[in-house]
Amino acid sequence: MVIYQNISLKPYNTFGIDVKAEQFVEVKTVEEVQVLCTTFNLAERKKLVIGGGSNLLLTKDFDGMVIRMNLTGMDSIREDENHVWVKAMSGELWHDFVQYCVTKNIGGVENLSLIPGCVGAAPMQNIGAYGVEIKDTFEELFAVEIESGKLVKFTNAECKFGYRESVFKNEKKDKYIIVAVTFKLNKHPKLNTSYGAIQEVLNQKGITTPSIKDVSEAVISIRQSKLPNPKVLGNSGSFFKNPEIPQEQYLLLKDTFPTIPGYPAPNNQIKVAAGWLIEQCGWKGKQVGNTGSHKDQALVLVNYGNATGNEIYSLALAIQKSVQDKFGITIVPEVNII
């Protein structure tokens, strides 16, 4: 384990923002994480833990320690008649984990195919797509407590999952480093093909009784058709969360905007598609300097080559204001802005 000084973070964030880290270290084992916490008094230092850097907008040099999680390995740790429990280390790419499950024909995460980032970041924001969230299959995780270096287990309930939320984004923020996650997958899953264009893609392929792999491949094709590859065009996927508004507000908006899409959410709320709101404000495909909203998906902000983090952040603020002015709805970034 080597601590480097003044390292560029451009290769470590999918927006491709070129800022420097005062200190940079890559950890490959749980023991290295524990040593880092105790020997280097990590609790008292400014720090940023990253995996794939896919949910991150860096707006300036980081005057602290950046810790890149590179713990790898995944395995089926137990099974019964109906389920298989798979444990994956936090540095594994999320899509690799999904494909591991798909190839073993165990279901539950196939709708989450091709989401960028690493396994360790998945429970932090309860990642989700196409009608599925990881809380649906999450069993437990292990994390190192930064202050003590102790390994601590968190159950599903203890993670307090919400929409793109968990305890690690709230009261436990910056107190733990996730090192391993276990999921409970299904040998006989009920496949979810009703969300988005999954069923449409399956119909086009003439698939009437889809397998887990068929659903995964449908999701991959949909995502590839709508979302730019960050290796080609810097981005962090969906930049904003889909807002949830009271049903009364939604019905009033529907009088003025009859095509506004809405989906039932808890507590009599309606989830509105942020991408649709942004598109209606004229941002889809619009380029502003070195950044812009992607031509195929308004929810994705992109770096056309030399954008700074502040340029992208300024664009995000302008988009937020226009949505607020037109619809009276506040859209909140899903991306972690540093």
Tens digits of per-residue pLDDT, 234-247?
A: 999 899 999 999 99
pTM equals: 0.89
**Separation of alpha carbons 55 and 236, rounded Å:** 6
Tens digits of per-residue pLDDT, 48-92?
A: 999 989 889 999 999 999 999 999 999 999 999 999 999 999 999
pLDDT for 1: 85
Residue 226 banded pLDDT, cuts 50, 70, 90: confident
- pLDDT at residue 196 tops 80: no
pLDDT for 338: 94
pLDDT for 40: 87
Tens digits of per-residue pLDDT, 276-288?
A: 999 999 999 999 9
**Separation of alpha carbons 94 and 97, rounded Å:** 5
Which of 1, 332, 30 minimizes the C-alpha distance to 178? 30
**Domains delineated in the chain:** 3-69 (3.30.43.10), 74-186 (3.30.465.10), 234-337 (3.90.78.10)
pLDDT for 163: 86
Active-site residue list: 164, 238, 334
Task: Return the exposure string of 116-154: e unless at least 16 CB atoms fall within 10 Å of the residue's CB, then b.
Answer: bbbbbbbbbbbbbbbebbbbbbbbbbbbbbbeebeeeeb
